[in-house]
């Protein structure tokens, strides 16, 4: 062993011997002593009172299953029978597309459809001459071929693209009679988009508002309120079966209807009016009427009146709360 190594060992020994030995009161306490000391501690303040005296008079919360009765409702509707009228921009757009197609399509070969020198061929040539040889009847005096084929746009104020003009041209072009005979004959006319029920405002007729969806609403004789037909579910009925039964018992058998699907399209919750009177949860099924009419004679739900109303009319007839719950089930048109 060298002198340097012996010197370093001696220095380390001196340093270790000079460190003070720390003694703490915890070194002599065993882990069990901590538990013994904790059990001997006592709180200086009394235990807090966890009771809320202002809530002692309130009854405990119970299950809400017995506070509501399950009902099935029927949203019976008549779909629109006519498409809505076009806007002036839509009329102009569709008319321009027809003229553009007339320019790009192949020429119409009348010999393929009409035999030469027959009455049908003579009639077609006379009518085609009036419209410039165009195959489409309502395009006006226009031809898609020749030096003037580029002139396919209408001037401002021209009524050729209007729906009324198209109807008149189609009626005259589809008849073999002269214009004077057509004017004298009242039977050759286009049907109006508005019926007698619209003029008289008969809300019980199904031939009103032909461009809108109508919904059946009934009035309760007991409450005097309007709503959709509804009733409680009996026995082991499902919603589809209950809706069919309720519709027959409320609006009679004089209707050919169809319940669409087996799942409800919405629901309406009416809270209990009193602690002893249960509320109701009504699940509405979607239905369609094809033929017939509602008849409340001898109904089993105390109904005294019915109406066929549009969405806007329902908002005025039903209550605000009732309508706010069913408005998302109604069609926009």
Q: What is the pLDDT of residues 82-139, one digit of tens each?
A: 999 999 899 999 999 988 888 888 778 888 888 988 988 888 888 888 777 777 878 8
User: What was the pLDDT predicted at 24?
Assistant: 44
Class of domain 69-82+195-329: alpha beta
| Beta bridge partner(s), residue 72 | 231, 283
The model's pLDDT over 235-273, given as tens digits with 9 standing for 90+, comes to 999 999 999 999 999 999 999 999 998 999 999 998 888
- What does residue 86 show for φ and ψ, rounded to 5 degrees? -75, 150
Distance CA 67, CA 157 (A): 67
Q: Do 108 and 143 meet the contact criterion of CB atoms below 8 Å apart?
A: no
Q: Do 75 and 285 meet the contact criterion of CB atoms below 8 Å apart?
A: yes
Q: Do 214 and 208 meet the contact criterion of CB atoms below 8 Å apart?
A: yes
Distance CA 209, CA 197 (A): 9
pTM for this one? 0.69
Confidence label for 64 from pLDDT (cuts 50, 70 and 90): very low
Locate the domains of the chain by residue range: 69-82+195-329, 88-184
């Amino acid at each position: 062993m060298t002198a340097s190594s012996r010197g370093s060992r001696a220095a380390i020994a001196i340093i270790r011997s000079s460190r003070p030995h720390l003694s703490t009161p915890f070194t002599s306490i065993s882990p069990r002593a901590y538990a013994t000391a904790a059990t001997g501690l006592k709180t200086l303040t009394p235990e807090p009172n966890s009771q809320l005296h202002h809530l002692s008079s309130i009854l405990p919360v119970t299950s809400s299953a017995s506070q509501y009765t399950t009902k099935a409702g029927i949203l019976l509707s008549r779909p629109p029978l006519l498409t809505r009228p076009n806007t002036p921009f839509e009329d102009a757009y569709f008319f321009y597309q027809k003229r553009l197609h007339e320019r790009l399509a192949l020429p119409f070969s009348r010999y393929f459809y009409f035999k030469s020198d027959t009455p049908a061929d003579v009639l077609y040539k006379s009518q085609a001459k009036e419209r410039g040889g165009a195959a489409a009847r309502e395009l006006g005096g226009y031809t898609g071929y020749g030096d003037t084929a580029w002139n396919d746009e209408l001037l401002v104020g021209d009524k050729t693209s209007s729906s009324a003009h198209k109807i008149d041209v189609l009626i005259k072009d589809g008849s073999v009679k002269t214009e004077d005979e057509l004017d004298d004959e009242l039977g050759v006319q286009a049907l109006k988009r508005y019926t007698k029920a619209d003029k008289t405002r008969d809300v019980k007729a199904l031939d009103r508002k032909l461009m809108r969806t109508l919904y059946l609403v009934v009035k309760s004789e007991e409450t005097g309120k309007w709503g959709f037909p509804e009733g409680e579910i009996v026995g082991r009925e499902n919603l589809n079966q209950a809706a069919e039964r309720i519709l027959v018992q409320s609006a009679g058998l004089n209707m050919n209807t169809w319940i669409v699907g087996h799942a409800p399209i919405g629901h309406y919750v009416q809270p209990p009016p009193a602690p002893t009177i249960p509320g109701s949860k009504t699940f509405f099924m979607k239905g369609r009427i094809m033929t017939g009419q509602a008849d409340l004679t001898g109904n089993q739900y105390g109904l005294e009146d019915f109406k066929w109303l549009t969405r806007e009319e329902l908002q005025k007839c039903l209550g605000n709360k009732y309508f706010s719950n069913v408005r998302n089930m109604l069609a926009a048109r």
